[in-house]
Chains A and B, each alone.
Chain A
Amino acid sequence: MAELEVVEEKETGTAPTTGRFEPKIVAFLCTWCSYTGADLAGTARMEYPPNFIPIRVMCSGRVDPEFIFKAFRDGADGVAVCGCHPGDCHYISGNFKTMSRMPIVKRYLEQMGLEPERFRLEWISAAEGEKFQQVATEMTEQVRKLGPLNWNETVETQ
């Protein structure tokens, strides 16, 4: 229901008068560690904000920077990439590729004027349901504080 409310607010194009700003955060989770960790958080009935929306990929190495830019462009307020801890990658070295790609993406985003808090790279193992919950909550709160990105508007007004 909360999502619907946001939709309505967005439709009106005005800041919500009642309730908080509910950011949309797209989280790319690798299927073996982070996604299982999220699963664990779920089966453990841990609560985490619905703003943190997972997209499953086989490996964090599959996360093409394009996807991140695309998400931001299309209205995401934050993007998270989560993978296995270094050394634990199901695909031997997939997360090492992520590890070297993502800082570049982050710097690029920052140059574009993005707040660094809107993009996060996290290592979450299958056992770390709690960490997943914590990352999701924390990031949602941070992004909530920053307010909407309104990327389209910014670009258009410029």
Chain B
Amino acid sequence: MNKFASAEELTRYQGELKRKTNGALKTISLCGGTGCKACGCNEIHTKLVEELNLREIRADIKVTGCQGFCEMAPLIVIRPDDTLYIQVKPRDIPEIVEKSIAGNEIVDRLVYHDSDGKPIPKESDVPFYKAQLRLVSKKTPYIDPMEIDDYIALGGYSALAKVLTSMSPEEVISEVKKSGLRGRGGGGFPTGRKWESCRKAEGERKFVICNADEGDPGAFMDCALLEGNPHQVLEGMLIGAYAIGSSEGFIYVRHEYPRAVQTFSNALFQAGEYGLLGKNILGTDFSFEVAINRGGGAFVCGESTALMASLEGRVGEPRAKYIHTVEHGLFNLPSNLNNVETWATVPAIIDMGVEEFTKIGNEKNKGTKMFSLVGKIKNTGLIEVPLGATLRQVVFDIGGGIAKEKAFKAIQTGGPSGGLLPEGMLDLPVDFDKLWEAGSMMGSGGMIVMDEDNCVVNISRYFLNFLKDESCGKCLPCREGIRYMMEILEKIEKGEGTMEDLETLEEIAHTVADTSICGLGKSAPNPVLSSLTYFKDEYIAHIKDKKCPGGICKALINYYILEDKCNGCGVCAKVCTMNAITGKKDQVHRIDLDLCEKCGACLESCPTEAIVRR
């Protein structure tokens, strides 16, 4: 393959690819995301190839990145009909091949069924997808992340070509500014303004950095983008570098994402082969190189200054940002750091135009945002919604509501240092400002849904524990304050808390938020502060009534057997590892509370629901 010497060559090649793929062949898009991999998509792939060969059917198999509907993994989509098969097993493959690929039938039992039991075969009709607006992750289900041609065929790199041939760097910045794009890493800082400052900053070299140190537990948007569509991220970086006037880029990927590193380095190689990276890109004067740097797994290295310190080879510790990194960042030179998703949004903006883009979202928040929706919800997965969509839409329309018909208790946005929002806040639009006002934050896009069986004290303690371990320990309030907050929460969990403790807790929380150096410390008290605001009664229940409404805090709960319901089957006694349950066959059993370890196994096992937790 020769390098593209000009933008026209790229366009011509795009045309060729489109013609090629426009054939009559069916495409089997097999989701190869982490969720689907875990559920056996590799075996499905093998079986699929086998089956097709056996029947001598020609079809195009694409193992894509995460398509999002992880709850129903593994996923197979047959295109062009867009038939979605969920929770496919290798034994289902012959049937699918026979009916859907060889023929044009639909295997009813494998498609999505709504709550009424009605089958919904077409992917876009599935409520999970229907309620979403896919912009950044639009191309992921159609491309093999290891194939640059797939991306180019879908119009990839045309945004870059457009920028390089018809726009000045200032025009690019102006476009991005007009688009109202805000940093998707959680800060929500206007991207265009950041680029502009970096372009204006003086420095012999400038750097473009992609932050892929996605550390929030349960969040995998960046991972999905890098694994599913690395070229889009790269294209965004290229456009950014052109706008800023940089020729060197870094991507900081956490070590726990080996596949992302694999796909991205493959993307770098392929882009280099095509002349889309390196010297004189598309025959212009613009040159750009990207180096991949693997993070060691410190959560705090997702903070921009800590990330840069880590890139420099020093310990990843943040510093005060009174002097901005766009002026003095990596190696004390102007550096523009953006999140993976931000970079990936840039080509979309250029492609669709600012006008179209700004139609999405609300007044101050334009475009879409990806979230990883997890927790006690029916449809977990990777979603993308326009900014300004309400939490209710996310939880109920896309997420399908709470699993197991339990009651919704809270949703936490923004990772471990986000706040817990109660049911009353469900109509809150998901945007940077509204979430912040409500005491939570956008974060990088984690969303954890909790039901009535969760205890907010326990959840807050859990997150503080995470943050305590991940605090770099540089500044006093974060190092000590989080620990003391956690100690108080532990006390409350044990039922030893006092009302004064709540005051102290709030006091520490405010000081930690006020005085910490970086975002980690500043936002660490969010779970505590928000839960104290919205769920204070639950704290009081722990302190005054010595009860845990969620039934989680072991010190405050006990298991009892209801005499009228127990039929004396003895199952509970068998599962009890502590031999705390005694009783003769066919007679009411009893739990010895002194021996009971409160594991809850009996409750799960009882066929007559005779065991209760109080």
A–B direct touch in complex (beta carbons closer than 8 A): no
